[in-house]
Amino acid sequence: MGVHAGDALGAAVEFSPWATIRQRYPEGLTEIIGGGPFDWPPGHATDDTDLTRAVLLAHLHPGVDVVRSAADHMLAWMLGDWPGRTPGTPPRDMGGATGAGLRRYQQTGDPRGSGAGQGHAGNGSLMRALPTALAVTDPQRRAEESMRISAITHDDPRCTVACAAYNEIAAALLAGEPPDRAVDRGHLLARHLDGVDVAGAVAHGRRLRPRALALTGPAGLADDAAGYVLDSLTLAVAAVLDPRPLPDVLVDIVRIGNDTDTNAAIAGGLLGVRDGASAIPERWRSVLQFADEFAGAAECLGAAGERAQERTG
């Protein structure tokens, strides 16, 4: 739900630079209004939430090959078999690496090796990573599946390791760890996976403050928060360490500008795990396209997690 809320909030100003957002919304955009370059209805899922849903659907069916199932759901999304779309119509928005990877998967039928390869380090797999953290309790399996689902479209190590580290933070939060210790867990996993750049991005997030970036702009980020996976990871870490309520933090993440919907979706995922769905204002939740479906999925994952704990307890 946090991914969905951040995505929908940021969609209205996607691709807008910091200065433009500051001029239009001096105190930040505080309502989900839709619009933006793709003219979204208020609360409608963009590709961020849609592809998160694709991974979520894969995890809701125990016993399947989760990576292949996630790829199949993502391919269905690309081909127009998706709620809210006329059958067969393409998505309004789709990243280049995502499209290339899914077309490769469509041709080969093999989700391994379909990614865009080294040098393509966008945030298009990090934005959809969270369901694996909520569904998989075993740390090694969680890291492996996070990386393999990323690699369907984004197999640069900065992307795959970022997904694993992000999900380690989320899983620690879900287990009741405080944010600083959860971030430690993600940092350690990144280092273990030889993700030097990823570990550096996590460490950088400790030093940044969303409120300050909202006031001064994204100059402290390598790609000005314009879609680079490590910028988005850094912002998510900074967001989850910010003690303010979820809405205040997400408003400031959007104020930073550029890839506003994806940055807010990724940060919103960690904030949602930290604070719970009740932290999302009702006026936001009431317009989210998949709110009811995601609430039902949370109940299913929670019940599955309890059964897993009973078996291992």
pLDDT in tens, 24-36: 999 999 999 999 9
- pLDDT value at position 195? 80
Residue-wise pLDDT for 61-86, tens only, equals: 888 899 999 999 999 999 999 999 99
Q: Identify residue 34 by its one-letter amino acid code.
A: G
* 298 Cβ neighbours under 8 A, 6+ residues apart: 1, 134, 277
d(CA 59, CA 166): 17
Residue-wise pLDDT for 119-160, tens only, equals: 689 999 999 999 999 999 999 999 999 999 999 999 999 999
Residue-wise pLDDT for 257-277, tens only, equals: 999 999 999 999 999 999 999
C-beta separation of 53 from 298 below 8 A = no
Residue 279: exposure state from Cβ atoms within 10 A (0-12, 13-18, ≥19): middle
Binning pLDDT at 50, 70 and 90, where does residue 255 land?
A: very high
- The secondary structure element, H or E, covering residue 146 is helix 139-151
Reduced to 3 states (helix: H, G, I; strand: E, B; else coil), residue 90 is coil
State what percent of residues in the chain have pLDDT above 90: 89
Cα atoms found within 13 Å of the Cα of residue 299, Cβ hemisphere only: 5
- pLDDT value at position 307? 60
Reduced to 3 states (helix: H, G, I; strand: E, B; else coil), residue 40 is strand
Compute the average pLDDT of residues 44-60: 98
- pLDDT value at position 116? 61
- pLDDT value at position 309? 55
Q: Which residues of 180-197 are buried (b: 16+ CB within 10 A; e: fewer)?
A: eebbbbbbebbbebebeb
* In the block, residue with structure tokens 């100003």: 13
Binning pLDDT at 50, 70 and 90, where does residue 115 land?
A: low
Cα 40 to Cα 8, 43, 83, 198, 232, distances in angstroms: 9, 8, 14, 32, 22
d(CA 305, CA 136): 8
C-beta separation of 195 from 157 below 8 A = yes
C-beta separation of 168 from 144 below 8 A = no
- pLDDT value at position 114? 67
Binning pLDDT at 50, 70 and 90, where does residue 218 land?
A: very high
Residue-wise pLDDT for 87-113, tens only, equals: 999 999 999 999 999 999 999 999 987
- The secondary structure element, H or E, covering residue 160 is helix 157-174
Q: Across all residues in the chain, what is the average pLDDT?
A: 94
d(CA 47, CA 61): 22
| Residue ranges per structural domain of the chain | 2-312
Phi, psi (deg, nearest 5) at residue 35: 85, -135
Q: What CATH number belongs to 2-312?
A: 1.10.4080.10
Compute the average pLDDT of residues 219-233: 96
Secondary-structure percent of the chain, ordered helix, strand, coil, rounded to 5:
65, 0, 35
Tokens of 301: 């994952």
C-beta separation of 171 from 138 below 8 A = no
Binning pLDDT at 50, 70 and 90, where does residue 291 land?
A: very high
